[in-house]
Amino acid sequence: MALLSRVAEQLYWAARYMERAEDTVRIVRAYTDVLVDLPMSVTTSWEPLLAVTGTREKHDALHEHGDETSIVTFLIADEQNENCVVNAVAMARENLRSSREVVPREAWKVVNDLYLYVAAHRSDGVSRRSRSRFADRVIADAQRLDGVLSATMSRDHAYEFLRIGQSIERADMTTRVLGVRAAALVGGDGDPFAEVQWMGVLRSLSALQMYQRATRSPIGGTAVIDFLLHDRAFPRSVMSCLQTVRDCLSRLPRGDQMSGVLAEVFATAAQASGDALDGAELDAETDLLQSAIGKLHNAIIATYVGNHE
């Protein structure tokens, strides 16, 4: 059965928003954990979280103070931030609601269930005492959705669009973490707390354990950056996400129309590296990567959805 263009777009966005919610709570949780490990003497700021999620301007326009409560509330539960976790789950649900005839019923149930939870427990996501539990729930339900789709959904075009949305959002998020968190650490090798911070970077992408298995060496900036950019086996690395998108597109009609833009984004990802860089250079490289991913997004929408509103 041919897939409606509108439905393809809604599935794509449902998956992106769900991934966004999951990634955001993971980043907030990992950052909270890192700050706990740092001594009182180290000045800490929550502002990098705004930079990662690209919401600094919006936050500062609405809020006077950039303290923990203000920033975490903004990222988790602030209605004025359309990308906050509660909104992202709501948007995933809205998109799935009008495309639910093509996804397994259980998948809708998971997202609906999570929506009911986050809408009722938004303050739990902010309070330090319950923040981690809230994050666990969001991550567990996102993974439950993943499991339902993986185990019960036919590998049809609808499935490809869900996976493309998820992978593009994931690649984008990994790139942002690298551009902000890693770039701030590069060159600071004398910093006694660098290792703790690098661990935090890996944790914010659930990558610590797999990194350790893959490298079997102490945690170092270059290796971490390289792992998160290029490791083909780790599913959250930029290359791995891009490969998933490429595979999905190869099974869709007219997927070859995107081969140019795909080649560009792969080349950009390959060029970026953890060697011999200062923070500004890494930041610039991840910017390039993000704009290449943005082009890929535009090409997919233009090819399959077009401009008929």
Q: Give, as ranges, the residues between 43 and 102 that touch other proteins (CB under 8 A).
A: 94, 97-98, 100-101
> Any long-range contacts for 53-62 (C-beta under 8 Å, 24+ apart)?
53/24, 53/27, 53/83, 53/176, 54/176, 55/81, 55/83
CB of 258 vs other proteins, minimal distance in Å: 13
CB of 300 vs other proteins, minimal distance in Å: 10
Structure tokens at 158: 């609808």
Residues in the chain: 309
3-state class (DSSP) for residue 80: coil
Minimum CB distance to other proteins smaller for 58 or for 97 = 97
Q: Does position 121 bind other proteins by CB under 8 A? A: no
Residues 157-176: x where in contact with other proteins by CB under 8 A, - otherwise, as a string: x-------------------
Q: Does position 188 bind other proteins by CB under 8 A? A: no
Give the span between the Cα atoms of 77 and 59, in whole angstroms: 13
Contact 50, 99 (CB under 8 A): no
Binding other proteins (rule: CB under 8 A), the pick from 33, 47, 60, 113 is 113
Q: Does position 5 bind other proteins by CB under 8 A? A: yes
> Any long-range contacts for 282-285 (C-beta under 8 Å, 24+ apart)?
282/178, 282/179, 282/182, 282/183, 282/186, 282/225, 283/179, 283/180, 283/183
Residues 7-36: x where in contact with other proteins by CB under 8 A, - otherwise, as a string: xx----------------------------
**Amino acid at the residue 205:** L
Contact 257, 303 (CB under 8 A): yes
Give the span between the Cα atoms of 178 and 297, in whole angstroms: 20
Q: Does position 153 bind other proteins by CB under 8 A? A: no
Structure tokens at 86: 């509660």
Residues 243-282: x where in contact with other proteins by CB under 8 A, - otherwise, as a string: ---------xx-----------------------------
Q: Does position 109 bind other proteins by CB under 8 A? A: yes
List of residues contacting other proteins (CB under 8 A): 1-8, 94, 97-98, 100-101, 105, 108-109, 112-113, 116, 157, 252-253, 304, 306, 308-309
